[in-house]
Amino acid sequence: DVKVTQSSRYLVKRTGEKVFLECVQDMDHENMFWYRQDPGLGLRLIYFSYDVKMKEKGDIPEGYSVSREKKERFSLILESASTNQTSMYLCASTLGQGATDTQYFGPGTRLTVL
Amino acid sequence: GQNIDQPTEMTATEGAIVQINCTYQTSGFNGLFWYQQHAGEAPTFLSYNVLDGLEEKGSFSSFLSRSKGYSYLLLKELQMKDSASYLCAVMDSNYQLIWGAGTKLIIKP
């Protein structure tokens, strides 16, 4: 079974803090994704990565950056957290880039920025 | 723009059948996914349709009509554990997933 883990289930930070969210997958998947999920909205893609040290902007990259130094690990960084970044953050991975490649999700990190 | 529409919430009775609809307008089409998400948990994969027609998988089925930009997920013999949100997602011509906001299904005894 694919396992995707995220460093924290719940996180509370203050405005202006730098925040690191970590995601690790154990199935040698090529692709990794960071989404945020807000009530009434579909999952919105922040960044994704198709290979180590590669990153691509998603639909809402502003205020975020990412790092993929190792194949199994994909980090999301909030350089200076703001209250509008309070959200559920979901990490996902896929084996390849084909249409049938299922996304496997981590359990999510619920981030609150005060 | 790209758009996925699905009802916000539906209610059904234990043992009954429910149909959750999804309509989409996307730039290109490389398949439609349904995911289940229990409250506070990660979405998990249910089905993938790329050709028109009905795909049956035991207690649920998924249907696709590409010409109508329409899909539905049919859940049969509902159990309380089926209470969850059901997410519809379409893969566009760039192989990017466009997600609907999800349908929260409430099952009553």
Q: From chain A, pick out residues whose CB is under 8 angstroms from the CB of B33.
A: 102-103
CB-closest option in A90, A98, A100 to B42: A90
Residues 6+ apart with CB under 8 A from A16: A80, A81
pLDDT in tens, B37-56: 999 889 999 999 999 999 99
CA end-to-end distance (rounded Å), chain B: 40
Chain B positions contacting chain A at CB under 8 Å are 4, 8, 30-31, 33, 35, 40-45, 48, 50, 87, 89, 91, 95-102
pLDDT tens for residues A59-95?
Answer: 999 999 999 999 999 999 999 999 999 999 999 999 8
Q: What is the pLDDT of residues A17-57, one digit of tens each?
A: 999 999 999 989 999 999 999 988 889 999 999 999 999 99
* Residue of A41, A99, A107 lying closest to B42 (CB–CB): A107
Closest in A41, A99, A106 to B101, CB measured:
A41
The percentage of chain B sitting over the pLDDT mark of 70, rounded to a whole number, equals 100
Number of Cβ within 10 Å of residue B81's Cβ equals 8
Task: State the virtual CA torsion across A25, A62, B45, B61 in degrees, nearest 10.
Answer: -170
Single-letter amino acid, residue A22: E
Which of B32, B90, B96 would best serve as a mutation to test chain A binding (most A beta carbons within 10 A)? B96
pLDDT tens profile B13-38: 999 999 999 999 998 999 999 999 99
Interface A-B, measured as beta-carbon pairs within 8 A, has a size of 50
How big is the CA angle at A1 (ends A44 and A108), to the nearest 5 degrees? 30
Question: β-strands B18-25, A87-94: how paired?
Answer: unpaired
A4 to chain B: nearest residue by CA?
B42
Task: Say which residue, B42 or A98, is predicted with more confidence.
Answer: B42
For residue A72, give the amino acid letter: E
pLDDT digits (tens, 9 = 90+) for B49-91: 999 999 998 899 999 999 999 999 999 999 999 999 999 999 9
Q: What is the DSSP string of B32-55?
A: EEEEEE-TTS--EEEEEE-SSEEE
